[in-house]
Structure 1
Amino acid sequence: MNHQHSQSLRVLVVSYGSLEGATFWLDQTGYEFDMLLDAERAVYQVFGLGSSVSKVMKFKLMLHYSEILVMNRQLPDVPPQFLDDLFQMGGDFILDQGGKVIFSYRCKSPVDRPSVPQILAAVSAHS
């Protein structure tokens, strides 16, 4: 008999941008997650997320964006005033209720993200 355990997760999006930029992004994407604005990038520093011109400008990334445009998939039309720091790298982290990091993924490029199965496996392994 297969028992499925439900997991309770709270998603928190951390942004270093302005309130107006964050609101624009939430409106454009339709996400309804809680968002923390970290203008000083204190959270980014704690999790070791720096800026990288070389990683952002890699040819592979440029190729990815060109493929999106060729396929007529439009990237959100972001007003220039909301383009804060194009070189800030992101990451995905899971913390348990005590604040201990149980999963960390530092992105290698702006489009690099962990898969949903990776995230769920980390949560399941900790429960």
Structure 2
Amino acid sequence: MQDLLNRFQINFYKDKGRPSIICHNDISRYLYVWRTEDMILDFLNDIDLCLSGKYEEIEDPWWDDGLIKLYGNLQPSYLQVFTSDKIDDKVILGKTPLFTIPLTEFRVILLAWKKFINESGFYK
């Protein structure tokens, strides 16, 4: 797990007791969107559906946060994250993804983030 976090330059730390991430890259920024255990568990559930060949059971493959304008799109074996803009109250996605990551790798990273959040005790 630590090798994967190092490879993607993902560093967790506590800021006044609150779990946080040093955002070296777009993966770190996107990961920070998911700050509660419930949000992470919902996301993991859809990732697990993808990895078990049940992609069609996902209600909505878009996992996003409009505030930081990052939109993730789950595919059967990978996640693509796009930037977005709002024009006349319509979300317009960038044409090229910021990054694409295999779901098996993103799942490990998301589980590490969940563990760090839980160990911090901040959101309980």
TM-score (norm 1): 0.27
Task: Decide which structure has greater strand share.
Answer: 2
TM-score (norm 2): 0.27
Greater relative contact order, per chain length (Cα 8 Å cut-off, separation 6+):
2
